[in-house]
Amino acid sequence: MSDDTAPNADQMRLLADLRGLGRTFEKFPEAVTTAFVRGRRPIGSLPEKYMPVTEPAGRFSAQAEYGE
């Protein structure tokens, strides 16, 4: 199962259950499956400067970013 491929119905039901979305999947299986595919889409490309130790913007602050 790759990131951009929908799992089969049994796998999807299990994944939905794990996320507390069992009832939602029963009622709207297509929406949950589409959401899975969409949600698993990774960031396409990262800049050359990116490193796994890059400090994240925990909460974006314009003030901090711009040194105001």
The footprint of other proteins (CB under 8 A) covers 15, 19-21, 23-24, 27-28, 31-32, 34-36, 38-47, 49-50, 52, 54-63, 65-66, 68
Q: Which lies closer to other proteins via its Cβ, residue 8 or residue 52?
A: 52
Residue 25 CB, shortest distance to other proteins, in Å, is 9
16 Cβ contact partners less than 8 Å away, ≥ 6 residues apart: 22, 24, 25, 32
- Maximal CA-CA distance, the chain: 53
C-alpha to C-alpha distance for 23 and 13, rounded to whole angstroms? 10
Residue 32 CB, shortest distance to other proteins, in Å, is 6
